Amino acid sequence: MSIANELAEKQREISVSEFFERNKHILGFDNTTRALITSIKEGVDNALDACEEAGVLPEIHVEIDELSDDEYKVVIEDNGPGVIKREVPNVFGKLLYGSRFHQIRQSRGQQGIGISAVVMYGQLTSGQPTTVLTRVGPDHPAYRLDLRIDTKKNEPEIKNEEIVDWEKDHGTRLEITMEGRYVRGAQSIFEYMRTTSVVNPHAQLTLVEPDGTRTVFPRASEDLPPETVEIKPHPQGIELGQLQAMAKNTEATKITSFLQKDFCRVGLSTARKICEASGVREDRKPKYLKTDDCKDLMKAFDEVRMVSPPTDCLSPIGEALIRRGLRTEFKDADLIATTTRDPEVNGGPPFQVEAAVVYGADKITEEEQVEILRYANRVPLLYQRGGCVATTAIEKIDWRRYDLDQRGGQGIPRGSAAILVHVASTNVPFTSESKDAIANIPKIEDEIELAVRECARKMRSHIRKGKKMRKLRKKENIIRQIIPQIAEKSAQILDRDVPDYERSIANIMNAVMVTPEITYEQGVGHDVKVRVTNYTSHGKKVRLIVEIPPDGTLEDPNPDKIGLEDNKLSWEEIKIDSGEARTFEYRIRGLPPDDVSNVDAYLDGIDAALIAGAEEWEEDTVPETAPAPQQIDPDEEEITKEVEV
């Protein structure tokens, strides 16, 4: 008994702050290099979320000053809505305190750990408090607070508080002193800022490095991401314990009302089907449900057919903005192919996958492995590349089929390419609290593979069209040097006029060449000319189809006999004689210069073997349009109209 008493006296509660203080590696502070990156990442992610929620285009300034060999002062400043004075201690000085943990919608931060963990790491390694300067509006004062975290209690401690002058009308500035090591390279603060700017083209990011180097990642779009909508839990995405807690805390007095009001996509008829399948009476009070009753309900959730959760809780980047962001980084790329998959559901939480493939940029060499840009909810993932589902999906693809070098048909390919993968979800299944990699969930892996393959097919088509065009142009140059000389010599020998040799050149070339030309003029738009030359021995009836960017406005097509459907512009069949060319023209207004960098063209009625510079037209050549919205029973949509009796 004495030993039991002795052990009992040693037992004590451990606060979450104390736990993470002793296990800081779990949060990404496992070495001084990574700790500095993690601190910047958490601060910038918070600033981006705050600006977007307030409807403000983000302007974020990051500055790193070296105080000694292993100590730095980190400054992160934004133009967001600011933080009201009474909330500053809790937001920055208390772990597991935040506004997003209970919300089911896409956001960068959710657990309320990140920025307060940075404050904790700073005081742990430097002994200095964190300084917070914040202002919520031009008619409000700016407050400066110095704070620490009492890790024994997980409570903030205010060391100093004052009203100060600040030129900003609103925003927040953090100053944190910490132990660290600043490096450049693949896993660095510069790389984090660079890759963040790619998928957040609406933000302007500025980085001042310890040596004074100042880099501005300019804003490429004036449009904020679509605002996400909070949704309720979906029955197929909860655990048994969560169901028990919800039943205990609900205000509903009947199971049917509980299912309708506390869950999404459950109407009265679905609620009754769930009760019937589970054997739980419809008028049963949720608060008195037993464990076996909840287990029966969980089984019924899987058996009863339900509509997938709504997807307005997600905010994908979109193909146009991905292209725009990548174009700022890979300015000279020959091709940027993008795709955004339709939303899917993994259990209960919805998710959406986007992908892009960049090809032909000078900064990427043929001999190196392709660069993989991984993102989750618009946040770059710099570490644990090998343990991420995005890498697994890419390695499974046989890239030799897409004209990239890959030894053995497995692993990361080599070539002048970069691959981007973005997963948006209300609950990204990270492998750890440091949020460095996405877990290998089969459904997510399948969606990533499908998205990347779709972009890879576009890349392969581009590569092969380019090879064929280069070969034909080389052939044409040689022919045009030889044939005129033969014609002139023959005419001299026979004492005749020099014959028209264009048909002879066409006979030898035996191809229909499509050559697009794009010019941009500020205030006018993109003028596109597509020249179709018939280098065959016979006249051809040509029907040309080109894809139009969905966000642009089409003007002045010539010839004007056109069809326009699903962003595909087509001209009626036009006869082009052997050796002749025809030019098709149109203008695209309303897009930035880099948004129209190539033309996807197709020819209908021409043998694919004769086409150069375009594709043979088939109904499934281009991606299908989005499917029609899922039909929902009116009872399922109006889930809140039932009045409890």
Nearest to 404 by CA among 355, 455, 354: 455
Give the range with max mean pLDDT: 68-82, 361-375, 497-511, 584-598: 68-82
Nearest to 436 by CA among 202, 192, 193, 209: 192
Length of the chain: 645
Question: 501-616 adopts what CATH topology?
Answer: Immunoglobulin-like (2.60.40)
pLDDT of residue 621: 46
The answer to whether 356 and 453 are in contact (CB under 8 A) is no
| pLDDT tens digits, 323-342 | 888 888 888 888 889 999 98
What is the side-by-side order of every strand in the sheet holding 142-150? 155-164, 142-150, 130-135, 171-179, 71-78, 59-68, 204-208, 214-217
The answer to whether 199 and 55 are in contact (CB under 8 A) is no
Nearest to 63 by CA among 77, 75, 47: 75
- Rounded to whole angstroms, what are the CA distances from 264 to 18, 234, 639? 37, 5, 8
CATH of domain 235-308: 1.10.8.50
639 pLDDT more than 50: no
pLDDT of residue 30: 74
DSSP code per residue over 328-350: HHSTT-SEEEEEEPPPEESSSSE
The answer to whether 421 and 352 are in contact (CB under 8 A) is no
Query: Angle, nearest 10°, between helix axes 255-262 and 268-278?
Result: 130
Neighbours of 595 (CB within 10 A): 19
Report the largest interatomic distance among the alpha carbons of the chain, rounded to a whole angstrom: 126
- Rounded to whole angstroms, what are the CA distances from 355 to 76, 220, 318, 345, 623? 30, 19, 10, 18, 14
State the pLDDT confidence band at 565, using cuts at 50, 70 and 90.
confident
Cα 349 to Cα 220: distance, rounded to the nearest angstrom: 31
Hey, what are 317's tokens?
């980047």
The answer to whether 404 and 395 are in contact (CB under 8 A) is no
Question: 16-217 adopts what CATH topology?
Answer: Heat Shock Protein 90 (3.30.565)
| pLDDT tens digits, 398-457 | 999 888 888 877 789 988 899 999 998 888 888 877 778 899 989 999 999 999 999 999
**258-286 mean pLDDT:** 90
Cα 513 to Cα 533: distance, rounded to the nearest angstrom: 5
Backbone angles phi, psi at 373, to 5 degrees: -105, 110
Neighbours of 452 (CB within 10 A): 25
pLDDT of residue 397: 92
Mean pLDDT of the chain: 83
State the pLDDT confidence band at 363, using cuts at 50, 70 and 90.
confident
91 pLDDT more than 60: yes
CATH of domain 332-461: 3.30.230.10
Cα 636 to Cα 645: distance, rounded to the nearest angstrom: 20
Cα 419 to Cα 391: distance, rounded to the nearest angstrom: 10
Strands (E), 249-322: none
474 burial class (0-12, 13-18, 19+ CB within 10 angstroms)?
A: exposed
**255-259 mean pLDDT:** 92
The answer to whether 352 and 313 are in contact (CB under 8 A) is no
Q: Delimit the domains of the chain by residue range.
A: 16-217, 235-308, 332-461, 501-616
Cα 569 to Cα 556: distance, rounded to the nearest angstrom: 12
Mean pLDDT lowest for which of 21-30, 382-391, 538-547? 21-30
Nearest to 188 by CA among 160, 215, 156: 215
Cα 395 to Cα 381: distance, rounded to the nearest angstrom: 17
CA angle, residues 236, 241, 245, in degrees to nearest 5: 100
State the pLDDT confidence band at 113, using cuts at 50, 70 and 90.
low
| pLDDT tens digits, 35-58 | 898 889 888 988 998 898 888 999
| Placement of tokens 């998205």 in the chain | 451
Cα 508 to Cα 537: distance, rounded to the nearest angstrom: 8
**221-236 mean pLDDT:** 81
**117-132 mean pLDDT:** 87
Beta-bridge partner residues of 528: 518, 586
344 burial class (0-12, 13-18, 19+ CB within 10 angstroms)?
A: middle
Cα 326 to Cα 269: distance, rounded to the nearest angstrom: 47
Hey, what are 253's tokens?
């007095």
| Placement of tokens 């060319």 in the chain | 581
β-pairing verdict for 417-425 and 371-376: parallel
Cα 4 to Cα 102: distance, rounded to the nearest angstrom: 40
635 pLDDT more than 70: no
Peptide bond into 559 cis (omega under 30): yes
| Identity of residue 69 | D
